[in-house]
Amino acid sequence: MTNPRLDTFRAMVAKQPANALARFGLANELLKAQLWEEAAEQLRTYLASYDDEGNGWSRLAEALAALGRTDEARDALRQGIAASQRFGHVGMANEQQMRLEELDEA
């Protein structure tokens, strides 16, 4: 069965590959569908072209953790903490720090 939202975002990214927000939307739909590898790929591309404020890094960490790539998930959270702090998002940085500590304990 196809996912219309996923299909729409894939078409948007295919038409405008440099559109960072379309790529972020696609990544979010991929996360919802638990298509972890493709989500991680889209998030990495998004993060390479957009100065994310922290949320994208959290979502990348989620995908990587689901794939069992814990060290990479930790790195994503560390980058997310730095981005969140740079943009003044203290609450997001604290949430990412808690997730990082949970990964460290696992």
Find the Cα–Cα–Cα–Cα dihedral 97, 45, 19, 55, rounded to 10°: -10
What amino acid is encoded at 31 in this protein?
A: L
CATH value at residue 78: 1.25.40.10
pLDDT exceeds 80 at position 106: no
Q: What is the pLDDT of residue 6?
A: 95
Mean pLDDT of 71-96: 96
C-alpha 55/C-alpha 84 separation (Å) is 8
The average confidence (pLDDT) of the chain is 95
Tokens of 68: 């069992």
Position 1 scores a pLDDT of 61
DSSP letter assigned to residue 3:
-
Mean pLDDT of 72-94: 96
User: Containing domain of residue 60, as a range?
Assistant: 4-105
Structural domain count of the chain: 1
pLDDT in tens, 26-76: 999 999 999 999 999 999 999 999 988 999 999 999 999 999 999 999 999
